[in-house]
Structure 1
Amino acid sequence: MAAIAVRPDELNDRLVSSLDGLFDGLHKADLDGIISEWQSIDHDLITSQNTGALHRETSSLAISVTHWMETLCDTFTSLKIEADGRAARLREDLATLTLEENQKTSPTPSRSPSPSRATRSPSPSSSSQL
């Protein structure tokens, strides 16, 4: 059974639209569709290469799109790591701020005389001086 090569313009269109598929998958937080599409594109590229039907322009486009996909994925991964770090620092700052605010707004105990001094009668020496 002979493999059927995909038309170059169809493969080119699928390669370019895969970039939109990546953004769509990231937006939906579901990359299953783009992974499936890339598996199909990969299969068709290999089939076209094996049958000698892969055009140089399509091969070059595939390399370029793959490079852009890799760059985008690396960038989004770096952004995610940076955002997670900043979110953790923000949570720490908010916790510290909340603790400081609670300490400022809680009533501070006032100094009152000890019960023994408050109930003690004046000493005879102090009353004789009145």
Structure 2
Amino acid sequence: MDPTFNNVIDHRLVASIDDFFDGIRTSDMDKFICTRQIIDKDVTDSRNQGILHVETRSLAVGVNDWMQVLCDTFTNLEVETERRAARFKDLVTTTEAHEDHSHSPSSSRSPSPYRATRSPSPSSSSQL
């Protein structure tokens, strides 16, 4: 068995985690997907050839399990964010509708204080 080959696979498996987070950060998972497809093929081929160390196989399974947990977490986070955003939008819409209704003019308006205290206009005082 080639320890160098297994060390390279180990390094690529761990580096794929960084590729995952880079893909999340840039909203572009193409590099991550391509890298993971190549790693998966190399791990499968080396296992079939009997040159994959038990430790590397264990690392591959662990990284895959961890990736699954991360994907599930991000999916759940997105669903929860969308749910809360919709709830917030409904709350804002309801609040705006309530405020619009409470500030609308009504027929029982009291006279403006300005109208009650204003001085007579010059044209009305010239009639005196």
- Name the counterpart of 1:81: 79
- Name the counterpart of 1:97: 95
Cα offset for 1:61?
A: 0.1
Instruction: Give the counterpart of 1:107 among 97, 105, 108.
Output: 105
Cα offset for 1:39?
A: 0.4
What count of residue pairs does the alignment treat as equivalent?
106
Cα offset for 1:109?
A: 1.8
Letter aligned with residue 16 of structure 2: S
Instruction: Please report the RMSD computed on the Cα atoms of aligned residues, expressed in angstroms.
Output: 1.3
Q: Structure 1: how far apart are the matches of 2:66 and 2:36? A: 14
Cα offset for 1:98?
A: 0.5
- Name the counterpart of 1:51: 49
Structure 1 gaps, min length 5: 1-5, 112-130
> Matched residue of 2:107: which SS?
coil
Instruction: Give the counterpart of 1:36 among 30, 34, 38.
Output: 34
Q: Structure 2: how far apart are the matches of 1:20 and 1:64? A: 15
> Matched residue of 1:96: which SS?
helix
Structure 2 gaps, min length 5: 110-128
Cα offset for 1:110?
A: 1.8
Cα offset for 1:19?
A: 1.0
Cα offset for 1:24?
A: 1.0
> Matched residue of 2:44: which SS?
helix
The structure that has the greater radius of gyration is 1
Cα offset for 1:52?
A: 1.4
Cα offset for 1:65?
A: 0.2
1:66-117 deviations in Å (ceiling 9; x for gaps): 0000000001101111110000000000000011111122222227xxxxxx
1:20-56 deviations in Å (ceiling 9; x for gaps): 1111111111111111111000111012112211011
TM-score w.r.t. the length of structure 2 is 0.78
Instruction: Give the counterpart of 1:18 among 11, 16, 19.
Output: 16
